[in-house]
Structure 1
Amino acid sequence: MDMGGTIVEKIISSHVGEVVRAGDFCVVTVDMLMCHDATGPLTIKAFNEFERENVWDPQRVTFVLDHAAPSPNERVSGLHDMLRSFAKEQGIRFFDVGEGICHQLMLEKGLVLPGDIALGTDSHTCTYGAVGALSFGIGSTDASGVLLTGKLWLKVPYTMKIIVSNSFKPGVYPKDLMLNVIGILKADGADYLCLEFSGSCIDEMSMGGRMTLCNMAIEAGAKGGIVPPDEKTLEWVRRRSSRSFAPQTSDKDAYFIDVLHIDAAGLEPQVAFPHAVDNVHPVSEATGIPIQQVFLGTCTNGRLEDLREAASILSGRRVHDGVRLLVCPASRQTLLEAIEEGIISTLLEAGATVIPPGCGPCPGTHLGVPGDGENVISTANRNFKGRMGNNKSNIYLASPATCAASAIEGKIADPRKYLS
């Protein structure tokens, strides 16, 4: 008797029209394609070479300006205009400068739902797995093929199950968990696998926390990350979309290529040292390292709950002299909610600089490029040499709470000392 299917196998099977299993090659129909300003122009150029007048379905395509927004120079302005013009001509959904980061918007606006196959010309498209969708990044040329046909060729990935038991202790967050996972698996430990997250800790976790986990699955080499949808997921999605969807979960007898067990109660805050995401250490091994810039934002940790965590630590305190704290909300909606809640005023009073919703300093294309020899601690997902625009600087990765504590002290600090 055949074994049951994983959530990934079942989602792909539903988009193929027949049962497929890990290792099979197939062509799938696509529910949503996203392109942003750093990769969209190449996609448009490749599409135009086919000399086809229209994309396959403009309602299933989304363009976002977020990587260098507002435009820092004339060249980027030209690329932005290319995307604006193509989107208007084709009737494609378009989010202009200041609306926010593509991955935040795709979920916040209810554009990706449980059971979907959603693709994007960005490696962190895997974020959408938080709602139980199969999502991953593709190249611009592949994306042009999707614009033409609405289909993609792929190999069905095997799945590694990550079971996280118990609850976090105060001062430990989903970002710490995912850094710990990447430290265990290493940068290539999950190559072309899908990471399925489950266990009591995941059940308790907010949707934002689940987004953080899935967002960083690619940093272990994974094709994607996914959290099987539960009632929390379905309620969250229904508030944002009226579109019908077909959630999937893994069968009890599904085959997993490996299973990793983690006790959340045993974790302490984690820090990834330069210049690799898998160079992970407990915060106790990082305390005291001087820092000159702190960045709070990105598709990993720029949501309302992240800003709230940082503000709770910074409230009534000041950013250390000589430290720049840059805050970049993940979306316009996040910024508005943070203003209404008083979070932004708390951060500003502490000495933070708030920059427009978008990717901000993360990709190094503009805003907040660090100086030579400077140390940055960031809530981002990558710390490769040159990632933030200067290959002579050093980037450390940590949770919003650890970043906030570090901003106060001017050196990497344990956030637990600031918790009441």
Structure 2
Amino acid sequence: MPMTITEKILAAAAGKDYVKPGELINAKVDLVLANDITAPVAIKEFEKIGLPGVWDKERVALVPDHFVPNKDIKSAEQAKMVRDFAHKQELTHYFEVGRMGIEHCLLPEQGLVGPGDVIIGADSHTCTYGALGAFATGVGSTDLAAAMALGETWFKVPESIKFVFNGKLNPWVGGKDLILYTIGKIGVDGALYRAMEFCGEAIEQLSMDGRFTMCNMAIEAGGKNGIIQPDEITRQYVEGRTKRPYTFYTSDPDAHYAEVHEFDVSKIELQVAFPHLPENARSIREAGNVAIDQSVIGSCTNGRMEDLRIAAQVLKGRKVNRRVRLIVIPGTQEIYRQAMREGLFDIFLEAGAAVSTPTCGPCLGGYMGILAQGERCIATTNRNFVGRMGHAGSEVYLSNPAVAAASAITGRISHPEEVL
């Protein structure tokens, strides 16, 4: 029977030859993940089970990244609970401050996730790893606790939607623009509990970093997972990096899809998602004269090397507007180090930006960039809900790194060509 890539991965994890959408399955997982917000709840639930240890200390990853370095006593206590549990369980993959990163940038970089894997994380943006050709999805902390104990979980097999991107990308347009445009077309519930499969010649030419960005935001359309069939670009990324054996799955040519959407990317311009939903995407030509107070370049969506290089290209030799705060957050320690080697920090600092240690901080309104009432921020993050980055009376606009950098220079939402 023909199957999509998502169905094939789930069938293999369930030990079955075939699965179909709507079917309930028990599936073995390859990795479970939690952070400093979600892990404490999972740890408490796990301890209620009464087992002496997790099912496999090599397959549980704990990454404090939301409120670290700790911003207050409560966040310090949460981080301590995670740290103590990781040490007690002798977990191989626990990442402390100074050796950590934003979880969805860090795990692929460290080779902990790979093609064909089934990965669950107590974080909604776990769907990022679909860029490698894995089935990756977010779960609740209690489901994660059970998976830490058993090494398996249950799923309802999702229907799949195919998104075909043909043509050649316009200058400065990247994965962030493609996913914002897509969400703008189908809405924040347009892929509810469905697999979003991205393909087409534009995706085949997209970098690994751009693919991570697209799959990262599948959840913003309600998707169960985002996924891209692995190819030579995937192979070059995982070879010598991914620590476990992996499998390249592909969709059958006659696989069934609930919907198929086709886009000509030559007609897709730079996108900006206006408050207060990611579906409020507009081309930058339609943005109008929107003044900003802050610009954030980073997050699990756009905190990778490619993102920092693009921002530096726009900022080089220019100054951040005196009315704007520009905050740059590399996604991992390795990205931080590489950016230093390439001289990107000199560009950022000379422009007047602040450079942070890796953290999710401002994205969820945690710290390192909280907005006051009436303030506006353009950010390369993934959500712009009411109060997402601070006061309920503030506003968040989503964009790619080039637009965020250009806007920091002009003091209003701007096309990068305005400053180049």
Bin for the TM-score computed over the shorter chain: over 0.9
* 2:135 aligned with 1:137: no
- In structure 2, what residue type is equivalent to 1:68? F
> Contact between 1:13 and 1:20, CA under 8 Å: does it hold in 2?
yes
TM superposition score normalised by structure 2: 0.98
Partners of 1:159 and 1:418 lie apart in 2 by 41
Which residue of 2 is the match for residue 96 of structure 1?
A: 96
How much does 1:242 deviate?
4.0
Matches within 5 A, 1:249-398: 249-398=250-399
C-alpha contact 1:328 1:360 (8 A) present in aligned 2:
no
Residue 320 of structure 1 deviates from its aligned partner by 0.5
SS at match of 1:318: coil
The Cα of 1:80 is off from its aligned counterpart by 0.7
Give how far 1:338 is off.
Answer: 0.5
1:5 matched to 2:7? The reply is no
Using the TM superposition, give the Cα deviation of residue 243 of structure 1 relative to its aligned residue in structure 2, in angstroms: 2.0
Amino acid at match of 1:243: R
SS at 2:247 equivalent:
coil
1:31 alignment counterpart: 30
Does residue 194 (structure 1) correspond to residue 195 (structure 2)? The answer is yes
Contact kept? 1:269, 1:283, Cα under 8 Å:
yes
Distance 1:367 1:231 in 2: 38
Moved more, 232-241 or 144-153: 232-241
State the alpha-carbon separation in 2 of the partners of residues 416 and 196 from structure 1: 32
Question: Is the CA contact 1:371–1:393 (under 8 Å) kept in the aligned structure 2?
Answer: yes
Q: What code does the residue aligned with 1:96 have?
A: E
| Matches for 1:171-190 after TM superposition, within 5 Å | 171-190=172-191
Contact 1:170 1:416 in 2 (8 A): no
In the alignment, the residues of structure 1 paired with residue 288 and residue 301 of structure 2 have an alpha-carbon distance, to the nearest angstrom, of 23
1:265-319 Cα offsets, whole Å, 9 max, x none, are: 1111111001111111111121420000000000000111101111101111000
* TM-score, with length taken from structure 1: 0.98
Counterpart of 1:315, as a letter, is K
Contact 2:370–2:390, Cα closer than 8 Å, also in 1? yes
Q: What amino acid does structure 2 have at the position aligned with 1:278?
A: E
> Does the residue aligned with 2:105 lie in a helix, a strand or coil?
helix
Deviations 1:50-108 (A, max 9, x none): 11111111110000010001000111111111111100111112011242101111110
Contact 1:287 1:413 in 2 (8 A): no
Q: Secondary structure at the match of 1:119?
A: strand
Query: Residues 157 and 194 of structure 1 are in contact (CA less than 8 Å); yes or no, is this contact kept in structure 2?
Result: yes
> After superposition, where does 1:58-207 map in structure 2 within 5 Å?
58-92=57-91, 93-98=93-98, 99-207=100-208
Distance in 2 separating the partners of 1:390 and 1:60: 38
1:230 aligns with 2:231: yes
**Structure 2 unaligned blocks of 5 or more:** none
Report Cα offsets for 1:19-65 as digits up to 9, x if no partner: 21111111000000010001000000111111111111111000001
1:30 is matched by which residue type in structure 2?
V
Cα distance in 2, alignment partners of residues 109 and 167 from structure 1: 31
Q: C-alpha distance in 1, partners of 2:81/2:171? A: 47
Matched position secondary structure for 1:326: strand
Q: Which amino acid aligns with 1:35?
A: A
Amino acid at match of 1:183: G
Supply the AA of the counterpart residue of 1:16.
Answer: A
How big is the shift at 1:416? 3.0
- 2:417 and 2:136 map into 1 onto residues whose CA distance is 34
Aligned-partner Cα distance in 1 for 2:148–2:411 = 48
Contact between 2:409 and 2:419, CA under 8 Å: does it hold in 1? no
Check conservation: 2:161, 2:259, Cα contact below 8 A: yes
Alpha-carbon distance between aligned partners in 2 of 1:171 and 1:146, rounded to the nearest angstrom: 41
Specify the code of the residue in structure 2 equivalent to 1:95: F
Conservation of the 8 A alpha-carbon contact between 1:287 and 1:414 = no
CA contact (8 A) 2:128 2:215 kept: yes
The one-letter code of the counterpart of 1:280 is A
- Report the Cα distance in structure 1 between the residues aligned to 2:353 and 2:166, rounded to whole angstroms: 36
**Paired residue type of 2:48:** E
Distance 2:27 2:177 in 1: 35
Q: Secondary structure at the match of 2:119?
A: strand
1:58 partner SS: coil
- The structure-2 alpha-carbon separation of the partners of 1:287 and 1:340, relative to structure 1 and needing over 3 Å to count, comes to farther
- What fraction of aligned residue pairs are identical, expressed as a percent? 45
Which residue in the other structure is 2:415 paired with?
414
The amino acid across from 1:272 in the alignment is A
- How many aligned positions are there? 417
RMSD over equivalenced CA pairs, Å: 0.9
Partner of 2:34: helix, strand, or coil? strand
Runs of 4+ in structure 1 over 2 Å off: 416-419
Whether contact under 8 Å (1:28, 1:154) holds in the other structure is: yes
> Gapped runs of 5+ residues in structure 1?
none
Query: 85-94 or 240-249, which moves further after superposition?
Result: 240-249
Deviations 1:336-365 (A, max 9, x none): 000101111101100000111121211111
Displacement of 1:241: 2.2
Q: Is the 8 A contact 2:372 2:390 kept in 1?
A: no
* Deviations 1:115-157 (CA, angstroms, capped at 9, x unpaired): 0000100000000000000000000000011011111111000
Deviation at 1:204, TM superposition (A): 0.5
